[in-house]
Amino acid sequence: MEFWRQPDELRRSCERARQAGRRVGLVPTMGALHAGHLALIAEARRRADFVAVSVFVNPTQFGAGEDLARYPRTLDRDLAACREAGASGVFAPEAAAMYPPGEETRVRVGATAAPLCGAHRPAHFEGVATVVTKLFALAGPCVAVFGRKDYQQLQVIRRLAADLFLPVEVVGATTVREPDGLAMSSRNAYLSPEQRSAARAIPLALTEACRAFARGERRAAALLGPARARLAAVASSIDYVDLADPGSLAIWSDEAEIGGRALLAVAIRLGAARLIDNVVLGEDAPPIAGAAEGALT
Ligand code: PAF
């Protein structure tokens, strides 16, 4: 497995791979890799022959007072995990290599980035779009794999690739969950044992909404009410529990009757952790497997 610190090293290796007739895959991450990331690498390996994983805690996507300083950094373990997962190389630049002195350009995002997380983390998606554009520029024509847990991020990146005519196929990979249904996240490491068990309310709320939708419930308030109540019972605070159009991310009002599929997206704070999750009603399986019938507890 190759290891690159400098942007040009990543660019040259991807170019060489393409010249040798190999399809390049890119898996952007912020490290602290878990099984969810390994599934992204596996997906990239199914679609490409040369898979580059980036490990970079991108400062521009963190707001003031957010967890940039304490975000888990586990590069040695991440390298071992990438090697084990069959990555061709890891790109782990210093911040100054990605944002050298004098740099000033940012990628402005639009309506897709405005609701949900965008409403609570004002410059977040501009930072994501900027770093992802830099990574796409370095990797060149490729297939890039992102997790559907960050559903809004995935949509913002799809929009970005289309709007800027970037030669990148953007692929969304299914969320990987713990046995109790909690979505895997590097930020789960912030949870105390009590908060970790309380976090099960998230997949329970999503599963309950999946069941109601499958029974034919289409009133937004009836889908949102139980989810909001379940999450309010455990969360330190709730950023949002909303229904949105899965493509545009336009929010359905509580008075709406849902037509077609709907994204149910949640973001709550449990102590020091901000946790997000989602399900596309009418498309995704419920997060808690085997929960088609019976009480959800
Ligand atoms: O999802 C993440 O880990 C990050 O937002 C990404 C896409 C690697 C950009 O920094």
Whether ligand 1 lies within 6 angstroms of the CB of 133 is answered as: no
Residue 292 has pLDDT above 60, yes or no: no
pLDDT per residue as tens digits for the range 133-175: 999 999 999 999 999 999 999 999 999 999 999 999 999 999 9
Residue 295 has pLDDT above 80, yes or no: no
Q: Is 37 annotated as catalytic?
A: yes
> Contact at 8 Å (CB) between 78 and 33?
yes
User: What pLDDT is recorded for position 297?
Assistant: 73
Q: Give the mean pLDDT of 266-289.
A: 97
Ligand 1 geometric centre to CA of 259 (Å) = 31
Q: Which atom of ligand 1 is nearest to the CA of 128?
A: 9
Q: Give the mean pLDDT of 179-207.
A: 97
Q: What percent of the chain has pLDDT over 70?
A: 98
Q: Which atom of ligand 1 is nearest to the CA of 58?
A: 10
Confidence band (pLDDT; 50, 70, 90) for 41?
Answer: very high
Confidence band (pLDDT; 50, 70, 90) for 287?
Answer: very high
> Contact at 8 Å (CB) between 60 and 127?
yes
| Cα(206)–Cα(210) distance, integer angstroms | 6
| 155 token code pair | 């949509």
Q: Give the mean pLDDT of 112-141.
A: 98
Residue 208 has pLDDT above 90, yes or no: yes
Q: Give the mean pLDDT of 2-27.
A: 98
For the entire predicted model, the pTM comes to: 0.97
Query: Any alpha helices (H) in the chain, and if so which ranges?
Result: 7-19, 35-47, 75-85, 95-98, 117-120, 124-139, 151-163, 193-198, 201-214, 220-232
Ligand 1 geometric centre to CA of 227 (Å) = 27
Residue 176 has pLDDT above 90, yes or no: yes
Residues for the chain: how many in total?
Answer: 297
User: What pLDDT is recorded for position 115?
Assistant: 98
Q: Is the dihedral of CA 238, 178, 132, 166 positive or negative?
A: negative
Q: Is the dihedral of CA 182, 219, 121, 59 positive or negative?
A: positive
- Amino acid (one-letter) located at 249: L
Whether ligand 1 lies within 6 angstroms of the CB of 58 is answered as: yes
Q: Which atom of ligand 1 is nearest to the CA of 57?
A: 10
pLDDT per residue as tens digits for the range 211-241: 999 999 999 999 999 999 999 999 999 999 9
Residue 293 has pLDDT above 70, yes or no: no
Q: Give the mean pLDDT of 193-211.
A: 98
User: What pLDDT is recorded for position 74?
Assistant: 98
> Contact at 8 Å (CB) between 243 and 151?
no
Q: What percent of the chain has pLDDT over 90?
A: 97
| 271 token code pair | 């102590």
Residue 294 has pLDDT above 80, yes or no: no
Confidence band (pLDDT; 50, 70, 90) for 291?
Answer: low
Whether ligand 1 lies within 6 angstroms of the CB of 29 is answered as: yes
Ligand 1 geometric centre to CA of 118 (Å) = 15
